[in-house]
Amino acid sequence: MTALAWLLGLILPACGAEGAAGLPVPAPMDMTSIERPTTPNTFLAGPAGMRPAPDVVTLEWQLPAPALYEKARVLFARQTRSFVAAEFPDRLQLHYVVRSALLNFPDLVTVQVNAEAADRSTLVIWSRSVYGRSDFGVNRDRTNAWLAVLRQSQER
C-alpha cells in the first residue's frame, strides 16, 4: 500500500486496508434482483434476457456450471490486486475486492455461474465502485479483461 493510500485511509477507511479487509464480508446475492445505482460507476455482464439488462452480453459456455465456476475461481483470483472476499460454492458465486494501484480504492466484483443444462452454463459479473460517482471505465475494462482471460483459457 502506498503512503498516499494510507493517508486517504484516514478519510475513506477501506482505502487504508489491505486485500479484502476494511469492508464487510459479503453475503450471498440474488443476482436476479440487482438494483443498479444511477451513478456511472458499475458494469454488468450477463446473458441475453437478463434483468436488469447487462452492459455486455456474455456467451453461453459449453461447460457444466461447476467446471465454469472452478475455472473462473482460479483465473479471477490470479488477476492483479484481486482478493477473494467470500465464496459460496453451493450457489456457484464468488465475491472479490479489487484495489486500485495508486490510492488502494476498493471495487466489489461479484461472479455468478448459472447452469443452463447439464453441459452448458452462463456467467454474470457485476463490478462496482465502493467510492466515487464515476469510475472512468475501470469496472468496464476489468470485466472485459476478466471475460477475455476466461475465453483465452477455453481456447487452449
Residue % of the chain over a pLDDT of 90: 82
The string of DSSP letters for 65-129 reads HHHHHHHHHHHHHTSTTEEEEEEETTTTEEEEEEE-TTT--EEEEEEEEEEEETTEEEEEEEEEE
For 101-150, write each residue's pLDDT tens digit: 889 999 999 999 999 999 999 999 999 999 988 899 999 999 999 999 99
Are 40 and 105 a contacting pair, CB within 8 Å? no
The string of DSSP letters for 27-41 reads PP--GGG----SSS-
Cell numbers that stand for 85 in this block: 472476499
pLDDT at position 156, please?
66
Summarize the confidence of residues 76-105 as an average pLDDT.
96
Domain 3-10+40-155 CATH superfamily: START domain (3.30.530.20)
Domain ranges across the chain? 3-10+40-155
